[in-house]
Amino acid sequence: MTLSPKDRDAWLTRWREGRTGFHLDRVNPFLERNADRMLPAGGGRVLVPLCGKSLDLRWLVARGHDVVGVELAEQAVEELYRDLGRTASISERGAFRSWKSDRLEILVGDIFELDSAATGAFHGIWDRAALIALRPDDRARYAPHILDFLCPGGQMLLCTIDYDQSKMDGPPFSVPACEVNAYFDNVLPLEKLEEKDVTDGNPRFGESGLSRVLEELWLVG
């Protein structure tokens, strides 16, 4: 089952209207500090689901990895390649359009339509603002789906956010530790690597009356 047409349109509209406050103008510090826990530098396949135009993509390529991003909004991918100053070779790959240059490939389409038999397995997965971008029902099917792409011994770095969901609607949705545990702990080893109080990091949090917003980084696998 794909993402609902309503949610799909909401993301495309966000990109069209430039409401992309989730985009960081630097490489994610959690990733910089912990990428080696996911996979040693010097070559591996990394999947970046719901990748947007994140600077993490080029950073992972620069560390010697082959990187595959998946993103619904083609506008994000156009902007990514424009910012990179690269030309991509574009081709159709089943339900996806592939934008490829050197060691970076972005598949434009819905993560729920991606098939591990078609992509092959990955040594690492970097999930920043992917799980937490999805509604509860979608998260429950995303979690087992994304693990399907991990090769034996592979690891996923997962960045989540925890806040009082009754005070603010997502995205980003609150995914507390108990939910992360429910998805992954009984399947693969799960370790919390870091946490950071980000209450002051987004004006929406204060406006919604949230007194504590915690970002958490997990290693799965």
Q: How far is the CB of 3 from ligand SAM (least distance, A)?
A: 4
Strand ranges of the sheet holding 104-108, from the earlier edge strand across to the other edge: 89-93, 96-101, 104-108, 66-71, 45-49, 122-128, 150-162, 214-220, 190-197
Residue 128 as a binder of ligand SAM (CB under 6 A): the answer is yes
> Nearer to ligand SAM by C-beta: 132 or 190?
132
Q: Does 175 bind ligand SAM (CB under 6 A)?
A: no
> Which part of the chain contacts ligand SAM (CB under 6 A), choosing from 30-38, 123-131, 143-151, 212-220?
123-131
**Residue 71 makes contact with ligand SAM by CB under 6 A:** yes
**Residues whose CB falls within 8 Å of the CB of residue 129, separated by 6 or more in sequence, listed in order:** 22, 50, 52, 159, 171, 172
**Nearer to ligand SAM among residue 23 and residue 33 (C-beta):** 23
- Name the H helices within 26-123: 29-38, 56-62, 74-84, 116-119
215: contact with ligand SAM by CB under 6 A: no
Stretch that binds ligand SAM, among 39-47, 70-78, 160-168, 179-187 (CB under 6 A): 70-78
How far, in Å, are 9, 34, 101, 122 from residue 104 at the CA level? 26, 21, 5, 14
- For position 173 contacting ligand SAM by CB under 6 A, the verdict is no
The residues in 49-68 that bind ligand SAM, with binding defined as CB under 6 A, are 50-52, 54
